[in-house]
Copies of this chain bind each other. A is one copy, B any other.
Amino acid sequence: MSLFLRALRGEDTPRAPIWIMRQAGRYLSEYRALKAEHGFWTLARTPELATEVTLQPIRRFGMDAAILFSDIMTPLPDMGLSLEFRPGPVLDHPVRTAGDVDRLRVPSEEEVAPFVPDAIRLLRRELGDTPLIGFAGAPLTLATYAVQGSGSKEYELFRGFLRRESATADALLEKFTDLTINYLRAQVAAGAQAVQLFDSWAGIHDLATYQRFGAPAAERVLSALADTGVPRIYIAVGAQHLYPAIARLPLEAVSVDWRMPLSACRNALPGLTLQGNLDPAALLGDEASLTAEATAVLREGLGGPHVFNLGHGIFKETDPDMVARLVDLVRGYDRHAAMATAAGVA
Counted per complex, copies of this chain come to 2
Q: How far is it, in angstroms, between the C-alpha of A22 and the C-alpha of B45 when the chains are bound?
A: 44
With contacts A164-B289, A260-B241, A289-B163 taken as known, whether A280 is within 8 angstroms of B156 at the C-beta atoms is: yes
Considering the chains assembled together, what is the distance between the CA atoms of A164 and B317 in angstroms? 14
Asked whether, in the complex, the Cβ of B279 is within 8 Å of the Cβ of A206, the reply is: yes
Q: A240: which B residues are within 8 A, CB to CB?
A: 240-241
Q: A180 to B36, alpha carbons, bound, how many Å? A: 46
Contact B285 A163 (CB under 8 A): yes
* In contact, A163 and B281 (Cβ under 8 angstroms): yes
Please report the C-alpha to C-alpha distance between residue A209 and residue B260 in the assembled complex, in whole angstroms.
11
Q: Nearest CB to that of A313 among chain B residues? A: B154
Report A165-193 CB contacts with B as 1/0, cut-off 8 Å: 00000000000000000000000000000
Query: Contact: B241 with A284, CB < 8 Å?
Result: no
Query: CB-nearest residue of chain B relative to A286?
Result: B164
Cβ of A261 under 8 Å from chain B: yes
A206-B260, A259-B206 known; A285 vs B160 contact (CB < 8 Å): yes
On chain A, the number of residues with a Cβ less than 8 Å from chain B's Cβ atoms is 35
Any chain B CB within 8 A of the CB of A207?
yes
Within 255-294 of A, Cβ neighbours of B (below 8 Å) are at 258-261, 279-282, 284-286, 289, 293
- Is A315 an interface residue, CB under 8 A from the partner? yes
Give me 9 other A-B pairs in contact (C-beta within 8 A), A153-B153, A163-B286, A206-B260 excluded. A154-B315, A156-B281, A160-B284, A160-B285, A163-B285, A203-B259, A206-B259, A207-B260, A240-B241
A–B complex contacts, Cβ < 8 Å, 27 sampled: A153-B153, A156-B280, A156-B315, A156-B317, A157-B317, A159-B279, A159-B281, A160-B281, A160-B284, A160-B285, A160-B317, A162-B281, A163-B282, A163-B284, A164-B284, A164-B289, A203-B238, A203-B259, A206-B258, A206-B261, A207-B260, A207-B261, A208-B296, A209-B279, A238-B238, A240-B240, A241-B260
